[in-house]
Amino acid sequence: MVLDYLSEVTMSLLVAAQRKDANLGWCPDFVSSLAPLLPQIRDKKIRVVTNAGGLNPLGCLRALTEAAKQAGVKLKMAVITGDDLMESKLSLTPDQCVSPSTIVSINAYTG
């Protein structure tokens, strides 16, 4: 099962959420929607792939791990990171963006 949660607008909303709480930055509706299905996902050996981790895939993993624990379900879970390019913000030139000081998120599609 593949679930696509992100768009440019969603990323901006995740930035705003993460500014309020550093533990946020991921799509909480992914975890709340998937939580009741975890026993069936385990029993039917369904693989779930998503980008719902947004700006904080490790935070999303922690929340999903907690949901699985509460449901008494053991699942193998993994996270892919590496799309956060904010450290390269200062190397941007004016012709590449309006102003580096206005950039709040730089993420690459990593395939």
Q: Is the pLDDT of residue 111 over 80?
A: no
What one-character DSSP code corresponds to residue 49?
A: E
Give the model's pLDDT for residue 26.
Answer: 96
Please indicate, yes or no, if residue 55 is contained in any of the structural domains: yes
Domain housing 29? 2-84
Q: Per residue in 44-72, pLDDT tens?
A: 999 999 999 998 999 999 999 999 999 99
- Residue 86 and residue 80 in contact, taking contact as beta carbons nearer than 8 Å: no
Please indicate, yes or no, if residue 107 is contained in any of the structural domains: no
**Angstrom distances, CA of residue 77 to CA of 39, 45, 62, 80:** 14, 13, 10, 10
Total domain count, the chain = 1
**Global confidence as pTM:** 0.82
Please indicate, yes or no, if residue 71 is contained in any of the structural domains: yes
- Residue 60 and residue 43 in contact, taking contact as beta carbons nearer than 8 Å: no
